[in-house]
A and B are shown apart, each in its own frame.
Chain A
């Protein structure tokens, strides 16, 4: 299993680069062109990153979460789940940048190779910003009655979250 994770990336790169060479495109110049776009993307997401890091750190540093955990801990009792993951799971369907900021904080506090660090990584990777995508896509074509789109989408996210927890336990 572990070996598959390790070979995905190199295989991707070699297939992409050599397919480009085979199709006789200038791979180096094309790379530079794309890299330049990537640089612009990074700059364009910078304001959103500042905004989200700002709000999330004020929220996390206030330790309001500790208060919430203290309240709900007796209720859910012995579930062996790091509760710090909850804000991330709640923010993930709404804003990718917000959940990224929480993941960054989890890595900072617990490290990327901790249980919660791995769980956060898988969670960030396995679901998407459902609410945002639905709002954007239906908004553009002026659909107002979305029927069951939102709650089926959120149901799929929930399954993703549960699977992330199960698989983190199973793999590591």
Chain B
């Protein structure tokens, strides 16, 4: 998927530059692009390194687990069909807690484990179960409290207030999560009435 888009962007860019005769701009772009990538990575590196350091403390001290446990009563309401003592709920809460802290590398393994547990209680192994879909919607809506890379880039481009976007971003995420969960809930109700699943 990403491969096609990548090829598409390059293809359109080069062909359109040929059509409009912008060959000089195109050549300059090709030759200087890699430098810009280096600038970008150098801008991102310090805050990523700093923040993974801080978050390692949260992980090692058990704060992340504690945070995940706080989420579990809410999760039981969102996933009514998953048994209360199922391991999946624990993994889902660690996944969401890690995502919230911008700890993507810790979120993915927990998310995959949650999916594995949900697959064990899935009656149709090739079809997504209802809790799986709900989990993915919750996951992809992506509540991030500390968006490290965005902050780093804003600092690098000399923003007068790099953190000013945190609060609106959180509000927007909460809205999109609620919208996704509501639509999912409506679909589930409809399916139940129509005796599918």
Contacts and interface: CB of A to CB of B under 8 A. Distances in A.
Interface size class of B (residues with CB under 8 A): 35 or more
Contacts, number: 343
Interface of A: 1-2, 4-6, 8-9, 12-13, 15-17, 19-20, 22-23, 25, 27, 30-35, 37-39, 41-42, 45-46, 49-64, 67, 91, 93-95, 98, 100-101, 103-104, 107-108, 111-113, 117-118, 121-122, 124-138, 140-149, 152-153, 155-157, 159-160, 163-164, 167-168, 170-172
Contact of A118 (B60, B116, B165): B165
Nearest to A133: B140
A121 B52 contact: no
Contacts of A134: 136, 140
B41 interface: yes
Contacts of A38: 48-53
B127 A39 contact: no
Contacts of A31: 53-54, 56-57
Interface SS of chain A: helix
A125 B150 contact: yes
B165 A62 contact: no
B12 A95 contact: no
